[in-house]
Amino acid sequence: MTPIISKLPQVGTTIFTVMSALAAEVGAINLSQGFPDFETSPELIKLVNNAMKNGHNQYAPMPGVMALREEIAKKTEKLYGAVYNPDTEITITAGGTQAIFTAITAVINPNDEVIIFEPAFDCYAPAIKLAGGIVKSLELSPPDYRIPWDMVKRLINSKTRMIILNTPHNPTATILHKEDIDELSALVKNQDILILSDEVYEHLIFDGEMHHGMARYPELQQRSFIVASFGKPFHATGWKVGYCMAPAFLMQEFRKVHQFLVFSVNAPLQYAIAEHLKDENTYLSLPDFFQQKRDYFRKGLEQTKFELLPCSGTYFQSVTFNKITDEKDSDFALRLTKEIGVAAIPTSVFYTQGTDHHVLRFCFAKRQETLDKAVDRLLKL
């Protein structure tokens, strides 16, 4: 057989799989891939069980269970003021990554340019390339990773079709501020530019800060795919249920792809989540819950030789390690996992050029004893 021409020659296995597999192999505490090591709520598990017992075991409607889409519409209007029609503007997806891939595939044509900010979550660029689009990346730097909007302006031309945003941001734990929204609004005004806004950590935001999601700003909302997740708020990343909201003209195209990519998402979880969402405390309690973990972990890390970067949202804490070693971040992450027994994510993998700012990312969505154990080990450095 003639050799296959790879569509993604530069791409290997995602860092999350690599680091989690290594952590398991060597028995390290896994603070690399982002997932909690505590259980989701027993009530929610009971609701899933009930949905199964009640016979919700066949295909859900292609765009998702209506009861869930209605709850999402209510929540979005209550929190951000935007009105989405659950019938035509909300689709339940098999997690955030599927929603992102679907949105990009639906609207990016060959040679369309898409602006992304690096470090960028690793699924954005491959999805753009598979659609034939061109990735225009702009590098951000620690400690604050602010977006230089004047440089974004210089990147924009008649081929620019989309800007991908992520707030709260993975891996840097930064958030967009009102000034960013103002700059963005001015830039896209009267332009044919869509926005894909990855907001899967919308409820994990600290210090009383506000989530500046696209649904708050009508002029941005009208051109945005907003991607959200239930895995993060409900401590159930393995369930792979999320959703996408977009104005009908965009959602119509989104569903053309969605129906042939997954058709629909597993039904019992959707019924259960719809019921669970009725209690707003399930998500409004999250900032406090995770802020406590952030503060606890930061206090622990302060005793080590790592230097802490700011953390305004997500369940990730980034650190620099210049006082420890001048190794490459990817080499250090491997050694840390194997020799010290704590797995982390090297952030150079999120830059096209592999830019290494000597920054590692730890996940603090863990029980206190796990964080204690990890800090004890990190103190050995």
Binding site for ligand GLN (CB under 6 A): 16, 33-34, 97, 170
Cβ–Cβ under 8 Å, residues 78 and 302: no
Closer residue to ligand GLN (CB): 33 or 197: 33
Least distance (Å) from ligand GLN to the CB of residue 39?
Answer: 18
Least distance (Å) from ligand GLN to the CB of residue 46?
Answer: 27
Q: What is the C-alpha separation between 154 and 1, in angstroms, rounded?
A: 46
Closer residue to ligand GLN (CB): 195 or 349: 349
Closer residue to ligand GLN (CB): 32 or 76: 32
For residue 105, what are the contacts with CB-CB under 8 A and spacing of at least 6? 127, 130, 131, 257, 261
Closer residue to ligand GLN (CB): 32 or 224: 32
Type of residue at 155: L
Q: What is the C-alpha separation between 105 and 260, in angstroms, rounded?
A: 12
Closer residue to ligand GLN (CB): 160 or 330: 330
**With 0-12 CB in 10 A as exposed, 13-18 as middle and 19+ as buried, what is 296?**
middle
Closer residue to ligand GLN (CB): 33 or 224: 33
Least distance (Å) from ligand GLN to the CB of residue 25?
Answer: 17
Cβ–Cβ under 8 Å, residues 341 and 28: yes
Closer residue to ligand GLN (CB): 225 or 362: 362
Closer residue to ligand GLN (CB): 100 or 107: 100
- Please give the helix or strand (H or E) that residue 138 lies within, else none: strand 134-139
Cβ–Cβ under 8 Å, residues 201 and 314: yes
Find, among 157, 153, 146, 142, the residue nearest to 117 by Cα: 146
Closer residue to ligand GLN (CB): 215 or 344: 344
Least distance (Å) from ligand GLN to the CB of residue 66?
Answer: 28
**With 0-12 CB in 10 A as exposed, 13-18 as middle and 19+ as buried, what is 88?**
middle
Least distance (Å) from ligand GLN to the CB of residue 16?
Answer: 3
Least distance (Å) from ligand GLN to the CB of residue 30?
Answer: 10
For residue 129, what are the contacts with CB-CB under 8 A and spacing of at least 6? 7, 8, 135
Q: Please name the residue that has the structure tokens 């029980």.
A: 367
Least distance (Å) from ligand GLN to the CB of residue 100?
Answer: 11
Residue 16, both tokens: 């999350």
Distance of CA 358 to the CA centre of its chain: 22
Find, among 355, 292, 71, 314, the residue nearest to 203 by Cα: 314
Q: Up-side HSE of residue 122: CA atoms within 13 Å toward CB?
A: 18
Residue 32, both tokens: 């690399």
Cβ–Cβ under 8 Å, residues 162 and 127: no
Alpha carbon distance, N-terminus to C-terminus of the chain: 51
Least distance (Å) from ligand GLN to the CB of residue 41?
Answer: 21
Least distance (Å) from ligand GLN to the CB of residue 33?
Answer: 4
